[in-house]
Structure 1
């Protein structure tokens, strides 16, 4: 059975570089995909309050034979729960749904700058870590200015920034900034939502070269770029094949070809303006 490489976060915690994302999966799909992933060798599951499937992840944790201390669980705070006291309450509620005493990684889902609450929210995250209730804390969809704000305000650097990244939207400037602050970058929508990107001739060419599928080539690119990557699927066979990316390596020419792809822009919301509650 393959095992995901581990990356070391800036607080010393080890995170599996490949995880299962469960966005847009219902309860039944989430539990089934989580169990299939754990059977295939995954040791990292990424959920969120807004996904509505934390309880299903919790059931999978109870029903798997994999010990809890071998599994890395991430969940996220939704915008409507931002603020110091409301963050603490929302964390308790997520932990109850997951059936956990300790969380591996807690993320602020969006900066939602119009709410003007992300600095207070981050202070609550720092408290949760200091109390030992969560091993690592981080953010999602934070631009450099948002990161600068919380670091300056609290003195605590996030361990992770989970952002939209795919080969035709690589956010390299933001990734480079995160590297400079020892913030690990996680990629959501790593396959560009499975649209035109997968049909690009370059990925067909590289897939043929390495005896792999275009999806696997893209996921391998993320690995070699140093991202944590969390592809999602409700198909157990696809969950398994998404993990079969550790038996080949893209060479320098492959990586340069992918890096030179035209940048077509983001598919998801703009972090500067998104504040849906």
Structure 2
């Protein structure tokens, strides 16, 4: 496992808060209330996507939050059905209009959809959007190293971020090391394994008792210790707070190794292997 101080790491291409806030399924007035609570609690990295169909609610929350715009990092994602270059540009602008903001801080390609073979076109559209000032930083989500290597070979640019499925049941050790060596920040979606009993995992519960926290906080501390930015989601204000504070827990190397050893060959939540899985 690569530690945060490993000499093989390259300086990140972007600086992000240590933990973000996921917004999938948070929409309408209830979604705005949950996201407002998260920002008031202290979250400054807000993650949405075109396909979440809640960019409008995210934008309302941002504008009403009272937090200066330059203190917030708003992320969205381009869906697979708009990878073609002449379709991607207008969709990026549409995300901006939905959000009601003058720029998107971080824009990702949501999935590579390799059988369609259009993700390089989409990446060029993101590069051009950034160069126009519509987007500040660009990255990808669910990309394998082979996909990222092709982006660099054909455009000369690496993504600043790759947001991937990552949690103790699927620790992605090799891919994280690959990112680290290239200055790519790893973000983790479903960092608590989407409620599949991870927070009640006996090992995490045992470790949590040593620190006076629950298994979920231990899992988030494990992400942070590995240099990964987890993106948990919660509508509960108390859980939002405890998740945010989890990055202040310092686990031992033995604890980190034991948690990583929970990884399984079938650890993915829904068997969404980016080599074959596609989303539009």
SS at match of 2:246: coil
Partner of 1:73: 74
Per the TM alignment, residue 238 of structure 1 is displaced from its structure 2 partner at its CA by 1.6
CA distance in 1, matches of 2:263, 2:111: 27
SS at match of 1:112: coil
Contact 2:171 2:263 in 1 (8 A): no
CA distance in 2, matches of 1:15, 1:236: 22
Partner of 1:271: 274
Partner of 1:92: 93
Partner of 2:59: 58
CA distance in 1, matches of 2:11, 2:132: 19
Between stretches 16-25 and 237-246, larger displacement belongs to 237-246
Between stretches 65-74 and 259-268, larger displacement belongs to 259-268
Per the TM alignment, residue 219 of structure 1 is displaced from its structure 2 partner at its CA by 0.6
Cα distance change, pair 246–199 in 1 and its aligned pair in 2 (3 A): closer
Between stretches 243-252 and 110-119, larger displacement belongs to 243-252
SS at match of 1:226: coil
SS at match of 1:239: helix
Contact 1:33 1:239 in 2 (8 A): no
- Mapping 1:83-232, distance limit 5 Å: 83-232=84-233
1:54-99 per-residue CA deviation (whole Å, 9 max, x = no partner) reads 0000010111111111101000001111111211100100000101
Between stretches 156-165 and 258-267, larger displacement belongs to 258-267
Partner of 1:25: 26
SS at match of 2:138: strand
Contact 1:36 1:240 in 2 (8 A): no
Contact 1:9 1:15 in 2 (8 A): no
Between stretches 23-32 and 137-146, larger displacement belongs to 23-32
Between stretches 246-255 and 155-164, larger displacement belongs to 246-255
1:76-127 per-residue CA deviation (whole Å, 9 max, x = no partner) reads 0011111112111001000001011111100000000111110111011111
Partner of 2:7: none
Per the TM alignment, residue 34 of structure 1 is displaced from its structure 2 partner at its CA by 1.3
Cα distance change, pair 272–157 in 1 and its aligned pair in 2 (3 A): same
Q: How many residues align?
A: 269
What TM-score do you get using the length of structure 1 for normalisation?
A: 0.93
Contact 1:9 1:159 in 2 (8 A): no
Contact 2:221 2:248 in 1 (8 A): no
Partner of 1:4: none
Contact 1:115 1:275 in 2 (8 A): no
Cα distance change, pair 181–239 in 1 and its aligned pair in 2 (3 A): same
Per the TM alignment, residue 248 of structure 1 is displaced from its structure 2 partner at its CA by 2.6
1:203-223 per-residue CA deviation (whole Å, 9 max, x = no partner) reads 110110100111111111111
CA distance in 2, matches of 1:80, 1:247: 40
CA distance in 2, matches of 1:35, 1:115: 38
CA distance in 2, matches of 1:56, 1:75: 13
- Provide runs of 4+ in structure 1 moved above 4 Å: none
What TM-score do you get using the length of structure 2 for normalisation?
A: 0.92
Partner of 1:39: 40
Between stretches 266-275 and 159-168, larger displacement belongs to 266-275
CA distance in 1, matches of 2:159, 2:240: 29
SS at match of 1:240: helix
Per the TM alignment, residue 149 of structure 1 is displaced from its structure 2 partner at its CA by 1.1
